[in-house]
Chain A
Amino acid sequence: MLSIKNLFVSVEGKEILKGINLEINPGEVHAIMGPNGSGKSTLANVLTGKEGYDITEGEVSYNGEDLLEMAPEDRAKEGIFMSFQYPVEIPGVPMVNFLKTAVNEHRKHRNEEPLTAGEFLKLMREKKELVEMDTQLTNRSVNEGFSGGEKKKNEIFQMALLEPKLAILDETDSGLDIDALKTVARGVNALKSPERSTVVVTHYQRLLDYIVPDFVHVLYNGKIVKSAGKELAHELEAKGYDWIKKENGN
């Protein structure tokens, strides 16, 4: 589904990713772990098409297409979804309008009729239950005045509405208490399917107790230095990142 080959990325002349290789198949859950500054968020941003990153080498193909050539909104409509680490606020734009526009843009892309207001509200109700989203939040402006936990839940709620093929969760656990973390994880797990792949980007192992990965990759200094099964996450939790740093000559 997603194939990253020898990807080099720099920001303002500084090399951040230095030759990433990664294969993701449908239905798989991959965790990308690593210390701060290792390039985790850069990878997530490059995959979703955020501006400001220079791809100096390598290629990324997504379902056989050159992902790096696609506009960010087309990547989204082709099924790539990112749960943002810091979801932005858009004052004055009601969640409902925002989501309806997003859902209908996706439908248009698939040559489907747009949903009517009634149909959309029904869909919203279903998905809210699935991810345990507070019903009041959708009446507010996009992320405005949401608590940290509400913002993250709102991201998963949007994921439920848009039903992506590839979901990238960027530091979804940051700033969450354990209860909020569990709710968010339950939401993500409820959306698991044999077709849907998930990339969990995280610094800590604790989220992976609830969203269990098939593969764990350690990103360090712009490279994937270790890949293994879920047990690697536990090893990291026990030993910290220092041994990785030592092994890689720092």
Chain B
Amino acid sequence: MEEQDKILNEVTQGEYKYGFVTDIDTDIIEKGLNEDVVRLISAKKEEPEFMLQFRLDAFRKWQKMKMPDWAYLKIPPINFQEISYFAAPKKKAQYESLNEVDPELLETFNKLGIPLEEQKHLAGVAVDAVIDSVSVKTTFKETLAEKGIIFCSFSEAVKEHPDLIKKYLGQTVPVADNFFAALNSAVFSDGSFCYIPKGVRCPMELSTYFRINAANTGQFERTLIVADDDSYVSYLEGCTAPMRDENQLHAAVVEIITMERAEVKYSTVQNWYPGDKEGKGGIYNFVTKRGVCRGESSKISWTQVETGSAITWKYPSCILIGNNSVGEFNSVAVTNNYQQADTGTKMIHIGKNTKSTIISKGISAGKSDNSYRGLVKVLPKAENSRNFSQCDSLLLGDTCGAHTFPYIEVNNKSSVVEHEATTSKIGEDQIFYCNQRGISTEDAIGMIVNGYAKEVLNKLPMEFAVEAQKLLQISLEGSVG
């Protein structure tokens, strides 16, 4: 028993590889939040009036809101006046060519495995790199523009494509949707915007890479993806942060809109700093992600591999308005040490013959708590709709927790909703079986966990899947008892 614990500990005490800090000149505004700060952010970004009004509206609503307390999370009080709401690497915000980019910054992204030189880049992935509050560089912009695809930083989109932003921003996640979405709407600094025109299949994966660098700042980014009729895009999101003893707040909003027969695949590998083994530090990750299938037969699928953050509060959802539209949620969430995750999805069936699938695989280790929370709601007019949910939990050791909170609401008789759930403990018998065949405990755990998560990992684009597999193995600090 002890021996196994020891091996497990060694195996799983993988250090967080991305915890370094980049030494660059950073422009950070004073801590604190009030209307002036909101105006200052808008001014710094040279935004048009409609954006300022959007922010102020959100801020005024946010002031009247309370932090949600319904999640199965112990959230230490957050002093929103102790956070700086804008940090940007000094010099120029957006670079025309790589020669202008601070070499330190380039080095940072290279270390993270995100080369910004296009010729060296992984084949077929365009990247928007966001550090602290601003987008540093978007690659392959010109190649994409030839097809009419817009892929740029959010700030740029506000300037270059104000009509599109005006039309779609806040449509899917209204400013006062929830406490954190309202906060984001008031102070978000950058992010990515993507528009795929009618009939275009995006020829490469689009990707945003988020990096928190500055201390005592929050990161609030905004992603908006609009897929017009008969278009398709696969979108990837990755994130890391330095190791710090203080907690840092990350509150993002992602909005997706699909028109007739359009499809968006959104994949996330979330690897924010989870805090140390005693639970000190780490990112508070409060994210609102939602997609609306507006068009008939359109499809949105969320795939997420969540290994990071001290606290995760996140429910990527689909609102299925178009008839025959399809929503998918595939998730692997790993918690270890003192990490807490309350994550899941909402599938709202509004159109006829709409379909949704939920596959959630939770893995808990150490002293962590891992909850699945999901809502399946079928409205009266959503005839012949179907949902299938499968929520599995895997426990490593006996000091962690796994919880499932499914909410099901069906308002017509022709729809079918299925829910399956399992909880299992990683078997000492499974590990011993592997040992008996000459496989070490370390490799056995990696094998068993990856086997368990395979259904979801298979949905990720290739390079991401490999990264995610490794990440799963590294993240599992804990023990089997």
Interface residues of chain A, those whose CB is within 8 Å of chain B, are 48-52, 71-73, 76-77, 81-82, 84, 87-88, 90-93, 97-98, 101-102, 105-106, 109, 141-142, 158, 162
Contacts and interface: CB of A to CB of B under 8 A. Distances in A.
A73 B436 CA distance: 6
Contacts of A82: 436
Interface in B446-461: 447-448, 450-455
Contact of A52 (B1, B427, B436): B1
Given A72-B436, A76-B437, A88 B1 contact: no
A91 B452 contact: yes
Interface centre among B434, B436, B454, B455 (most CB of A within 10 A): B436
A163 to B, nearest CB: 12
Contact of A106 (B427, B438, B454): B438
Contacts of A73: 434-436, 438-441
Contacts, number: 78
B443 interface: yes
Nearest to B7: A71
B359 to A, nearest CB: 12
B455 A102 contact: no
A88 B437 contact: no
- Residue with the greatest number of chain A CB neighbours at <10 A, chosen from B427, B428, B447: B447
Contact of A92 (B3, B428, B432, B450): B450
A90 B430 contact: yes
Nearest to B449: A92
B454 A105 contact: no
A90 B447 contact: yes
B454 A87 contact: no
B4 interface: yes
A148 to B, nearest CB: 16
Given A105-B437, A105-B440, A162-B438, 15 more contacts: A49-B435, A51-B432, A71-B435, A72-B436, A73-B435, A76-B437, A84-B436, A92-B450, A92-B451, A98-B437, A101-B439, A101-B443, A102-B439, A105-B439, A109-B438
8 contacts: A72-B435, A84-B436, A90-B451, A91-B451, A92-B453, A93-B448, A105-B437, A158-B437
A90 B454 CA distance: 12
Nearest to B437: A102
Given A51-B428, A71-B3, A84-B433, A90 B440 contact: no
Interface of B: 1, 3-4, 427-430, 432-441, 443, 447-448, 450-455
B419 to A, nearest CB: 19
Given A51-B1, A71-B3, A88-B430, A98 B435 contact: no
Contacts of B432: 50-51, 72
Contacts of A109: 438
A140 to B, nearest CB: 12
Nearest to A106: B438
A50 B3 CA distance: 11
Nearest to A83: B436
B9 to A, nearest CB: 15
Given A93-B447, A101-B447, A141-B451, A87 B435 contact: no
Contacts of B455: 92
A10 to B, nearest CB: 15
B117 to A, nearest CB: 34
B429 A88 contact: yes
In order of increasing CB-CB distance, the 6 nearest A-B pairs are A92-B451, A93-B451, A72-B435, A102-B437, A105-B438, A92-B454
Nearest to B392: A91
A141 B455 CA distance: 13
B438 A102 contact: yes
A45 B437 CA distance: 14
Nearest to A86: B429
Nearest to A77: B438
Given A51-B1, A101-B443, A90 B433 contact: yes
Nearest to A45: B432
